[in-house]
Chains A and B, each alone.
Chain A
Amino acid sequence: MISYILRRMLQLVFVLWAGATLLFFLLFTLPNSPGELIAGGANRSANPVVVKNVNHKLGFDRPIYVQYGKFMARTVRGDLGESYRTHEKVNDILKERAPLSLRIAFWAIVIEILVGVSSGVLSARRRNSFADTATTLVAVVASAIPVFVLAYLMKQVTGVYAYQHNWPGWMRFPALGFGPNEWYLWIIPSWEQLRYLAQPVIVLASVSTAILARITRTSMLESLRLDHVRTARAKGLSEKKVIRRHVLRNAMIPVVTIIGIDFGTAAGAAILTEFSFNLPGVGSKIVTAASQRDLPIVLGLSIFVMAVYGVASLLVDISYAFLDPRIRLGGEDG
């Protein structure tokens, strides 16, 4: 087990290195002269001498491998670079924005797991019942509504209508911003904080919860058909025990995979939710930086997002090993 985890961690380091390298070359071999961007402006052509100086000062006139070496040297030290334009440090941006993104992602995933998995299990157990049909319908609608629209509707109802009509306080939610930033144990919101957190988290969780419910249902139905489930019934186990011990655990393997991917996406690419609620998260910053061609920011933040994905998939791999001993023992077998 320990060696399995160590192997996976080494793999993660390699993947991060490869991803960072790939991104670096993709971004920095594109035909563009950062100097022009910095010295010039949107529609104004820059003084070529200034451009040359700027490019020289920032090292962009050096061969690409030298630039790459410098990039790697500082990245390994934990310095993710700084903006061309404002000299803002990526590390500082992350310090400010990453906690928010991670917290929202965490709670969205909690909702996804609780609601998505349990409604998927329920659907599969009561196949073709009213509950199944209803969940299917809700899931299809939830995954089809664009996030903007859902966010807009929520804000209209609980953020605007509720205030206008004097709904009780607990039914009114602030429509924008991120509130007092009060947390217990880093992750548990204070009551006031929860009022700000609830809507973006629900919006962010909606699509993935709907999809997870469908995947859980399918995976459960597949597991229910397996031979060992028949054996479990033939042993005289109650239906509840059959489901809990012999269906759920096997059905969770694809579900866990999806949850891992969703966490990465929720933390690094919750762009629509962040824009909708005006939240200073990581995803929206990447989009802004990309539109300003502020490549170091794009690169630095992307490395962070890759790391989040990487850690999430490491956790997924570890939980696989708990769920299925064949994976854990695979190394010793073959």
Chain B
Amino acid sequence: MDPLLDVKGLTVGFGTDDGVVQAVRGVDFEVRSGEILAIVGESGSGKSVTAMSLLKLLPPSATIEGSVDWAGESLLDASEQRMQAVRGNEIAMIFQDPLSALNPVYKVGQQIAEMVHSHRKVSKADARARAVEMLTQVGIPQPEKRVNQFPHEFSGGMRQRAMIAMGLSCEPRLIVADEPTTALDVTVQAQVLDLLVDLCHRLSTAVILITHDLGVVAGIADRVTVMYAGRVVESGSVDDVFDATAHPYTAGLLSSLPRLDGDVAAPLVPIAGQPPSMLNPPSGCSFHPRCPFAKEEAGCMTIVPTLDERRPGQLSACHRAPELIETGALLRVGAPA
């Protein structure tokens, strides 16, 4: 089956006074109809920029290259008018902080109805009815009353439910959720995420779930794409990546997760060091300054690794991947010696 969304060589730079920030450098990924793709990476790895460039929502200082193929149509070549028809209607977005992402001066119902109104020829009353229906679907109690309230009258979790209601109100084929639960209370994070995934399954809406927490990916996503410093370093099915990662960075992320089956007393090991500056990223493999396996002879410091298939459907960008997979070294990252 052809993918719904096929991104190839996506490259985004921001012109700034200090030079060009190379936020995204040749990212490839695809999303199939109805599937959930997780994009994972540390802060600054270019996840949000990738998401925003799909809908061409970046500021004018950004230059976008590569190709974004949406059901056979090239979005990067599409007119602004066409993009407006795509946004919200075919591809919807949900943002991190639902308080600031909703306009404080309009009622929640108005904001959902506005979305419906801008894509469907419906009466005001019908748009409002749709808002109530969507609030019901996302499990907000007393939707008839809530629809007339302002965002500040909602709790954090409810606001994000309202955002989800808005995102799904035009039945898009893809929803891009950029860290939808990061700003929420830990106690409601799982609920909101489950709700999103549930609804999308029911409506067979595909999801790009952006997160910096590999932990939320397991059990929710079908496939995962791991980003580091503006590049994809590994991608594959969640099972493959979790059980047999093919990249030292992913191994590092995995080792810093609390494991149910592991030694409870084992300390969590975050990856040492800081993510690099995208004004002047490291040469070769961008991860080499922090990589425990980086080796001069393998070319880690000088040659940019290509994203190659390591097992069927599982790709990674690491010069030493074959050797590290062979010896099982990646599975022991972070394990107590």
Q: Which residues in A have some Cβ–Cβ distance to B below 8 Å?
A: 226-228, 230-239, 241, 245-246, 249-250, 323-326, 329, 333
Known interface pairs A235-B114, A237-B84, A325-B105. Does A226 touch B100 (Cβ–Cβ under 8 Å)? yes
CB-based contact B152/A326 at 8 Å:
yes
Chain B residues lying within 8 Å of A245, measured Cβ to Cβ, are 106, 114
29 A-B contact pairs sorted by A residue (CB < 8 Å) = A226-B100, A227-B97, A228-B101, A230-B57, A231-B101, A231-B103, A232-B103, A233-B87, A234-B55, A234-B93, A235-B88, A235-B118, A235-B166, A236-B86, A237-B114, A238-B84, A239-B80, A246-B103, A250-B103, A250-B104, A323-B105, A324-B104, A325-B105, A325-B150, A326-B104, A326-B150, A329-B150, A329-B153, A333-B153
Give the residue among A236, A241, A325 with the most B Cβ atoms within 10 A.
A236
Selected from A230, A236, A333, the residue in CB contact (under 8 A) with B119 is: A236
B85 on the A face (CB < 8 A): yes
Q: Contact mask B63-102 → A, CB, 8 Å, 1/0?
A: 0000000000000000010011111110011010100111
Chain A residues lying within 8 Å of B85, measured Cβ to Cβ, are 236
Chain A residues lying within 8 Å of B88, measured Cβ to Cβ, are 234-236
B115 on the A face (CB < 8 A): yes
Chain A residues lying within 8 Å of B104, measured Cβ to Cβ, are 228, 250, 324-326
Query: What is the distance, in angstroms, from A330's C-beta to the closest C-beta of chain B?
Result: 10
Give the residue among A228, A235, A325, A326 with the most B Cβ atoms within 10 A.
A235
Selected from A230, A238, A326, the residue in CB contact (under 8 A) with B101 is: A230
CB-based contact B57/A234 at 8 Å:
yes
Q: Contact mask B17-59 → A, CB, 8 Å, 1/0?
A: 0000000000000000000000000000000000000010100
Tell me the number of A-to-B contacts counted with CB atoms below 8 Å. Answer: 73
The number of residues on chain B lying at the interface, defined by a beta carbon within 8 Å of a beta carbon of chain A, is: 30
The residue of chain B having its C-beta at the shortest distance from the C-beta of A252 within the complex is B105
Selected from B86, B89, B103, the residue in CB contact (under 8 A) with A228 is: B103
Question: How long is the Cα–Cα vector from A8 to B87 in the complex, in angstroms?
Answer: 43
Question: How long is the Cα–Cα vector from A329 to B148 in the complex, in angstroms?
Answer: 13
Question: How long is the Cα–Cα vector from A195 to B151 in the complex, in angstroms?
Answer: 50
CB-based contact A234/B92 at 8 Å:
yes
Query: What is the distance, in angstroms, from A255's C-beta to the closest C-beta of chain B?
Result: 14
Question: How long is the Cα–Cα vector from A236 to B104 in the complex, in angstroms?
Answer: 19
Chain B residues lying within 8 Å of A230, measured Cβ to Cβ, are 57, 95, 101
Apart from A227-B97, A231-B103, what are 15 other A-B pairs with CB-CB below 8 Å?
A227-B95, A228-B102, A234-B92, A234-B93, A235-B118, A235-B166, A236-B85, A236-B87, A236-B119, A239-B80, A246-B103, A250-B105, A324-B104, A325-B107, A326-B152
Chain A residues lying within 8 Å of B101, measured Cβ to Cβ, are 227-228, 230-231
CB-based contact A236/B103 at 8 Å:
no
Q: Contact mask B99-138 → A, CB, 8 Å, 1/0?
A: 0111111110000001100110000000000000000000
Q: Contact mask B303-321 → A, CB, 8 Å, 1/0?
A: 0000000000000000000
Query: What is the distance, in angstroms, from A240's C-beta to the closest C-beta of chain B?
Result: 11
Question: How long is the Cα–Cα vector from A236 to B90 in the complex, in angstroms?
Answer: 10
Query: What is the distance, in angstroms, from B14's C-beta to the closest C-beta of chain A?
Result: 15
